């Protein structure tokens, strides 16, 4: 099988490429390296079944050629990370919406299977926890740029499902909940690699807000297995699935666990959202997925708990001296 991964030099994309290469498939990557890195795919470059193109998902002729060559398309290319989203809202919207439009348009011409990665951010300020795929989505005001990412990814979902209904494009949508693991960068606000880097350097571990907000962190290896399983199922087309862990932890408790596991002397300090991001920044107090749909569909069960995830990230950070963070 021939696989195209947009955003393939990124954190999740590179692990997905690994999984398909190990399966013996041929892999094509497209990435502009805006947030991805060649280091993530360096180990694959000598394999004759691996191909990469450094270009933008906005480049319609390049996307068209790659889509023609492949059987399945994973569309992962997107603006990522709260810090990047707050600082570059125009880039966030244009990258997420126009890039997805190009990929779906070209895939529809050839009837190729597509998996579109969306985000738990689309649940917004909903308090109907755990979040179900058929639940209501509650976004904040348009005057708060923090919600531009959620809105752009939600528009991606609507567009993908419209292509399924109107043009019969076999596309599946997944909402990822805080996927973490080796190779993830902390540059754009990703909390676990940021905490680990700070702890290993014995710098203050900076918790934004009061630290009582809670999240569930899914291991990238578990998530990739689910992505592959979904694209192997033709009856997944037209469906939306949550993918993530249901092991909930507060951000304060996460900081304390990182400090303990790294044996760090770092103090844990809290920084108000207004100082960390922007005045009036809003965050969701809890983000917990209902994963019963994907469990029933492909038998998905996260196998990696939080401390195992942290061990992997800590080891990766130590081996790279923080250079990939």
What residues are labeled active site? 149
Q: Which residues pair with 242 in a beta bridge?
A: 175
d(CA 249, CA 213): 8
Query: How far, in Å, CA of 9 to CA of 226, rounded?
Result: 19
Record the tokens describing residue 16, joined without a space. Answer: 């997905």
- Go through the chain and tell me how many residues it has: 325
Single out the residue of 49, 38, 46 nearest to residue 14, CA to CA. Answer: 38
Dist CA 202 CA 165 (whole Å): 53
CA distance 183 to 11: 5
Helix (H) or strand (E) holding 14, with range, is helix 11-23
- Written as six digits, the tokens of 259 are 């400090």
Phi, psi of 249 (to 5 degrees): -145, 140
Q: Which of 313, 304, 164, 299 is nearest to 234 (CA)?
A: 164
**Residues 44, 68 contacting (CB under 8 angstroms):** no
Q: How far apart are the C-alpha atoms of 242 and 226, rounded to whole Å?
A: 10
CA atoms within 13 A of residue 5's CA, in its CB half-sphere: 30
The answer to whether the Cα torsion of 7, 8, 11, 16 is positive or negative is positive
CA–CA distance, 249 with 305 (Å, rounded to integer): 11
Tell whether the torsion through CA atoms of 187, 192, 193 and 198 is positive or negative. Answer: positive
């Amino acid at each position: 099988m021939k696989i195209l991964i947009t955003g393939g030099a990124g954190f999740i994309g590179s692990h997905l490429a690994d999984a398909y290469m190990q399966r013996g498939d041929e892999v094509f990557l497209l990435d502009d390296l805006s947030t991805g890195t060649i280091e993530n795919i360096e180990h694959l470059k000598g394999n004759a079944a691996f191909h990469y193109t450094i270009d933008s998902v906005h480049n319609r002729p390049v996307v068209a050629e790659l889509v023609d060559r492949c059987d399945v398309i994973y569309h992962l290319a997107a603006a990522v990370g709260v810090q990047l989203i707050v600082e570059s809202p125009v880039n966030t919207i244009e990258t997420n919406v126009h890039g997805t439009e190009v990929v779906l348009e070209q895939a529809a011409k050839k009837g190729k299977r597509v998996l579109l990665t969306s985000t738990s951010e689309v649940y917004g300020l909903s308090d109907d926890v755990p979040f179900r795929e058929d639940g209501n989505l509650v976004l904040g005001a348009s005057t708060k740029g923090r919600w531009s990412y959620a809105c752009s990814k939600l528009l991606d979902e609507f567009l993908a499902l419209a292509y399924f209904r109107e043009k019969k494009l076999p596309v599946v949508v997944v909402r990822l909940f805080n996927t973490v693991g080796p190779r993830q960068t902390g540059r754009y606000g990703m909390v676990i690699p940021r905490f680990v880097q700070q702890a290993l350097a014995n710098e203050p571990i900076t918790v934004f807000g009061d630290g009582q907000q809670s999240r569930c962190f899914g291991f990238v290896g578990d998530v990739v297995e689910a992505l592959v399983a979904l694209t192997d199922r033709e009856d997944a087309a037209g469906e939306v699935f949550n993918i993530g862990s249901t092991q909930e932890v507060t951000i304060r408790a996460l900081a304390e666990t990182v400090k303990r596991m790294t044996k760090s002397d770092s103090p844990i300090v809290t920084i108000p959202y207004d100082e960390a991001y922007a005045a009036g920044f809003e965050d969701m107090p809890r983000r917990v997925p209902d994963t019963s749909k994907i469990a029933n569909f492909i038998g998905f069960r996260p196998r990696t708990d939080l401390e195992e995830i942290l061990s992997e990230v800590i080891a990766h950070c130590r081996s790279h001296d923080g250079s990939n963070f």
